[in-house]
Amino acid sequence: MALYEDVPAGFEGPTPGAGPEDLLDLGPDRRSGLLQQRWADRFGRIPRLTRWAAALTVGSLSAAGYFLLGVGPKPAPGRPDAAPTSSPHFADDQAVDMVAASARDRTPLGDYIRSASAAGSCAVVPVGDMPEQRLEAAVRKALPNYAVRDVGRTLNQFTGMCSLELRASNGSGSTLVATIASPARATKNLFDQTTVASRTDGKVVVSIVSSLTRTGWTITFGAVGPVSDEPSSAVLLELTQDPTLPW
């Protein structure tokens, strides 16, 4: 199909024998076919080995660009590392249960000797030092209305002190329990770690303050009794941090 060019008014139409330059051909452009044929002829004159080398070079460059630009397949996202789990140095529930059980136990405390302890597993007490007497004095000072009920020690065959326990009571039905455990081996912590916990049924409350010292001692002071008569956590904390005690 051909279209006529715009002509001046009064022109009656193309004259017979008009040249092709007077028409606009909207069909396929043959020039593109000629150009393609020329390039094909030139390509055919290139030696086969040269063509293979060029193809390999282009392919390598394309692959490099594909991955450098991040278009290539992404590696599967790694599964994030699970956060390390950590547990407190002294489980709150265990400490509360221990204090409650000791306060209700009516069996008198006494000394116990471990006959098969490893050397160095319990703290060596200097000759003449009486840590149980210093503990009693600290309790009487902090809670003057409490009377010491009994004291018990666990020693080993090397006369090392493994643990020390004290119980004291007042006239209102409250009982104080103190438990001190020496480190099983030499320990150096960056700082003291303190836990405060309590449990109550609305009438009776069990409160504790437990501290792991820089040197590895575990010191727990707890009280069991009526809610209205319970020593404050500040008093229990003061006892765990008493500078006159040897832990």
How far apart are the C-alpha atoms of 120 and 7, rounded to whole Å? Answer: 118
Report pLDDT digits (tens) over 135-174: 999 999 999 999 999 999 999 888 889 999 999 999 999 9
Instruction: Calculate helix-pair angle for 233-240, 131-142, nearest 10 degrees.
Output: 150
pLDDT at 67: 44
Instruction: Show Cβ contacts of residue 10 under 8 Å, excluding neighbours closer than 6 positions.
Output: none
Cβ atoms of 118 and 241 within 8 Å: the answer is no
pLDDT at 206: 96
Quickly count: other Cβ atoms within 10 Å of residue 97's Cβ: 14
Report pLDDT digits (tens) over 49-94: 455 555 545 455 454 444 444 444 444 444 433 333 334 444 578 8
Cβ atoms of 166 and 151 within 8 Å: the answer is yes
pLDDT at 54: 54
Tell me the one-letter amino acid at 206: V
How far apart are the C-alpha atoms of 142 and 238, rounded to whole Å? Answer: 8
